[in-house]
Structure 1
Amino acid sequence: MIKSILGTSAIVIMAAWPALAQNVDRTGWPSSFTLGTASQGGTFFVYGSGYGNLIAEELGLRVGIEITGGAMQNMALVHTGEADMGMTTLGPAQASIAGRSPLVPGLEMTNVCAHFPMYETPFHAVALASSGITALSEIPAGARIGFGPAGSTGDTYFPEMITALNIPFEHRNGDWNELGRQLKDGQIDVIGFAAGVPVPQVAELEASTAVNIIEFTAEEQALMTALFPVADYTIPARTYASRSAPARAVSMWNFAIVNCDLPESFVYEATRVVMQGNARMMQINAAAATTVFENWDKNTVIPWHPGAARWFIENGASIPAEMIKS
């Protein structure tokens, strides 16, 4: 079993509110579903817990919110059906579908389907202001850098980015809360975040200590977009209290995913709940500003679940037939 290979994840079960009566075919629907997120303190956990509970509340189901290692592990759990839903990033998704996941090498994860667009994941770094580090080029040789949980999007790509900048470093892993504590205690020097902004852990750090939000230079952006499946991104001014100016970054799109065997009518209704509930989603996390219909076309990697595709096509999307799971 994938979960036994990757380690048992903690699960928080949250009860749903009674659903409103709906004239929908519920044949084959589960009475509950599980949703893979990531470590506590990161955007995936906050965002995923929120939309999982929104779906459960609106459809009258129970949901289990699962703490995982993030994008790579979610692909594995959703592929096997050990999680019904989850979240991933398109770079790790592409590698996992091709059988190049470092967690389960050789397993082509082709039973994962796209659900809906989430947000872009910017790559950016944080250091204590007392360190004097204000740019990536100022990270000293041998610096201890935390990249999030092993196998996460940040852990997959950010170390390679730092290596491409010819900066020798010590690689550290941990959940975001633990890495934040280590940064404050001087046990690590930098955290390399790959998460939707604002990252909850950065906001917590800012509330208790002075930090520097480290951006990419234009030249560093150009190198990253040439080497990795990322695009230029600008973190808006005041996203973080300690940053009054915009910050250059690079980013990768995140998509919600579902097991392809879930009933079409269930996934259709779950898609409708999220995509028509953007105001509720924005209350969950500000990153949901891009969880909107118009961003359906950002997915060029994961085949769409027929239920999700039906909702998007009914609302004007032109999803190619070959991009819909048969």
Structure 2
Amino acid sequence: MRNFKPTTMALLTSGALLAAGSVQADRSEWPDNFTVGTASQGGTYFVYGSGWANFIADELDVSGGGEVTGGPTQNLALVHEGNAAFGLTTMGPAADAVNGESPLAPGLKMDNVCAMFPMYETPFSITTLADSGIESISDIPDGARIGFGPAASTSDTYFPAMLEELGVDFERRNGGWSDLGGQLQDGLLDVIAFAAGIPIPAVSQLEVQTDVNIIEFNEEELEIIKENFPVAEFSIPASTYQTLEEDARAVSMWNFAIAGCDLPEDFVYEVTKATMENNDRMMSVHRSAATTIPENIKHNTVLPFHPGAARWYEENGYEIDEALIK
């Protein structure tokens, strides 16, 4: 073990005390508590967001938790207005919000919303009961009752337009994922069109209780949707659900965690650091967090990064275009 001279040890101790004092001073500007806007119970956003909030609260010793919301579109508004410190959103609604095209606030450019870290891709997938006879999108009958999730959610914003583009005629229904799953099982709905991280808790629960069909896009349908919507091709692995025997074709949008741009830089830095340096812990929250890694910051080309988040990425060798830092 190396022996230090008394003067050297004194200097080190003094430096450590000064550093501790600096950290304490920075921390004094932190909020006393925080909320994370998630989505409805039974969906991946709620599980991921609530688990992440609990992790950050424990890691940084700040009171915080997840809040049930209408999903990505509402979360953008909540964060912009300062009614939630953090939220979860999808790139489609985020682009609409910064351009003043949010359905919740037409004309208002939400410029107090900053990106923190990548979460996962949101696949758009369709589930029916096996005894419905619906095995493809073209099998969906005219006037089918389709549940699209909470009003103004990513699913409700984009999936109806996608199905209309594919010539599906339907009655639009909204609600939380757990409720819609129950309605499907009770015969009150014919189809549920999900946009959520996989595995979707409501679908996993459904397939334990009854036989379901998970409907994929055929190649022609896939090309039509990719040409007309801000999505990418995605494959749902067969291992995701016990119902699937092989990978299923789908489309997806990326999700990012967002923060109020006016939150203290040091606070957001520590939140980002804790999240990016503990992927195993994030995976224990939800396995979709396998892609909650810094390499995926490249999938945000819409929102400015919070300077606290950007500082962590740059310190760790990840480049961000200066134009994308608030």
Using structure 1 for the length normalisation, give the TM-score: 0.92
Q: 2:37, 2:68 within 8 Å by CA — same for their partners in 1?
A: yes
**Equivalent residue for 1:307?**
308
Q: 2:98, 2:109 within 8 Å by CA — same for their partners in 1?
A: yes
- Pairing 1:120-131 to 2, within 5 Å after superposition: 120-131=121-132
State the AA in 2 paired with 1:231: A
Question: What is the number of residues matched between the two proteins?
Answer: 305
1:104, distance to aligned residue in structure 2 (A): 1.5
- Pairing 1:31-50 to 2, within 5 Å after superposition: 31-50=32-51
In structure 2, what is the Cα distance between the partners aligned to 1:254 and 1:211?
A: 27
**Equivalent residue for 2:219?**
218
Q: Following TM superposition, where does structure 1 have runs of at least 4 consecutive aligned residues deviating by more than 6 angstroms?
A: none
Matched, 1:133 2:96: no
Q: Deviations over 1:36-65 (max 9, x none)?
A: 000000000000001111111000010132
Matched, 1:290 2:295: no
Matched, 1:245 2:246: yes
**Equivalent residue for 1:89?**
90
1:26, distance to aligned residue in structure 2 (A): 1.1
**Equivalent residue for 2:3?**
none
**Equivalent residue for 2:63?**
62
With over 3 angstroms needed to count, the CA separation of the structure-2 counterparts of 1:131 and 1:262, relative to structure 1, is same
Using structure 2 for the length normalisation, give the TM-score: 0.92
In structure 2, what is the Cα distance between the partners aligned to 1:307 and 1:125?
A: 38
Q: 2:216, 2:248 within 8 Å by CA — same for their partners in 1?
A: yes
**Equivalent residue for 1:319?**
320
Q: 2:101, 2:107 within 8 Å by CA — same for their partners in 1?
A: yes
**Equivalent residue for 1:170?**
171
In structure 1, what is the Cα distance between the partners aligned to 2:243 and 2:272?
A: 36
In structure 2, what is the Cα distance between the partners aligned to 1:199 and 1:105?
A: 31
In structure 1, what is the Cα distance between the partners aligned to 2:314 and 2:202?
A: 37
**Equivalent residue for 2:10?**
none
Identity %: 60
Matched, 1:103 2:100: no
In structure 1, what is the Cα distance between the partners aligned to 2:231 and 2:96?
A: 14
State the AA in 2 paired with 1:286: R
In structure 2, what is the Cα distance between the partners aligned to 1:103 and 1:22?
A: 44
1:27, distance to aligned residue in structure 2 (A): 3.5
With over 3 angstroms needed to count, the CA separation of the structure-2 counterparts of 1:56 and 1:165, relative to structure 1, is same
State the AA in 2 paired with 1:31: D
Q: Deviations over 1:120-174 (max 9, x none)?
A: 0000000000001111111111100000000000000000000001111000000
With over 3 angstroms needed to count, the CA separation of the structure-2 counterparts of 1:219 and 1:22, relative to structure 1, is farther
In structure 2, what is the Cα distance between the partners aligned to 1:111 and 1:84?
A: 11
- Pairing 1:256-271 to 2, within 5 Å after superposition: 256-271=257-272
In structure 1, what is the Cα distance between the partners aligned to 2:80 and 2:125?
A: 30
1:22, distance to aligned residue in structure 2 (A): 10
State the AA in 1 paired with 2:266: S
**Equivalent residue for 2:156?**
155
**Equivalent residue for 2:8?**
none
1:23, distance to aligned residue in structure 2 (A): 7.1
State the AA in 2 paired with 1:41: G
Q: 2:57, 2:65 within 8 Å by CA — same for their partners in 1?
A: no
Task: Return the structure number with greater helix share.
Answer: 2
1:286, distance to aligned residue in structure 2 (A): 1.0
Query: Residue 94 of structure 1 aligns to a residue in which SS?
Result: helix
Q: Which moved more, 1:58-67 or 1:261-270?
A: 58-67
1:31, distance to aligned residue in structure 2 (A): 1.4
